[in-house]
Amino acid sequence: MRKIAFLGPEGTVTHEAAHYFFAGEPHQFIPYRLIADAVASTVADETDLSLVPIENTIEGSVKDSIDLLVHGVDLPIQAEWDYPSIQNLIGLRAEYITSSGELDLSRVKKVFSKDVAIAQCMDFIKKHLPNAELEFSSSTAAGVRYVKENPNEGYAAIGSKLATELYQTDLLAPNITDHSNNFTRFLLIGHHPPVLKPSDEMKTTILVTLPEDYPGALHQVLSAFAWRRINLTKIESRPTKLKLGSYYFYIDIKGSLDSVLLPGAIAEIEAIGCLVRVLGSYPSYSYSQRAVL
């Protein structure tokens, strides 16, 4: 049975996404306290693969995950998929019920959740939780578990429906993200390729470090893809962490590394002195597709 590492404890959005895409397959999902710990378990071969959030509709890139892929480890991307990130306000209902039987959210004193999840719900927080301090937890489910363990404090958490059930808490307000179309893209990384359904869409992710003192290098990189009509779906710069002002580019490309044109584009940008590292060439799945056979 394949072991899949994820950001725990049980009940995170990552855990929900893992269940959804591997439904019906006998996988063992193993929770870790941090994304870095999950990925380290895959590096150490204690788990076969790690599932990590990489990008969100509202918040953009999950920078910790990108930096891990780039600086921390050398694990190839095996697949990506999109999963709806539905956040809910969770707590112990009895704490917020007035004598007339109404739910009074102005009594919430503190809200716990992962930074990314709090950022996804800022409109709701501003409007409905005027007296709540915000406190980051290591994951959404860690926040929900903490609220359950600390009753009568006026605490609430932002997290998944799965966490509400697992930690026997109440849904104080469902679906509170700023936009209903809130998706998170997850990457499955590791050396052991999973058995997956073929997908109509393949993607390739590369890291490009530009040569120094080469004016217009980024323009040349982009034009190597443009004139071949290769579609870039994402380009993001991140610091190399080696020197102030030094960046690499994280580029998602539509298409497989086996396609006719992509190797030529990569060779062209290497020829001008760019360093290119391929992070993976893999199937991409939307929410309506499931990845297992």
Ligand X SMILES: O=C(O)C(=O)C[C@]1(C(=O)O)C=C[C@@H](O)C=C1
By CB under 6 A, name the binding residues for ligand X: 7, 12-14, 53, 56, 62, 85, 114, 116-117, 139-141, 184
User: Helix crossing, 217-226 with 262-271: angle to 10°?
Assistant: 160
Preceding omega of 263 cis (within 30 degrees of 0): no
Minimal distance in Å, beta carbon 205 to ligand X?
A: 18
DSSP single-letter state for residue 256: -
Closer by beta carbon to ligand X, 18 or else 262: 18
Minimal distance in Å, beta carbon 293 to ligand X?
A: 25
Closer by beta carbon to ligand X, 33 or else 197: 33
Minimal CB distance residue for ligand X:
12
DSSP single-letter state for residue 227: T
Closer by beta carbon to ligand X, 164 or else 281: 164
Distance CA 27, CA 20 (A): 12
Distance CA 282, CA 20 (A): 19
Minimal distance in Å, beta carbon 125 to ligand X?
A: 15
Minimal distance in Å, beta carbon 62 to ligand X?
A: 5
Closer by beta carbon to ligand X, 7 or else 173: 7
Closer by beta carbon to ligand X, 7 or else 221: 7
Minimal distance in Å, beta carbon 144 to ligand X?
A: 9
Distance CA 7, CA 133 (A): 24
For the chain, the farthest-separated pair of C-alpha atoms sits apart, in whole angstroms, at 73
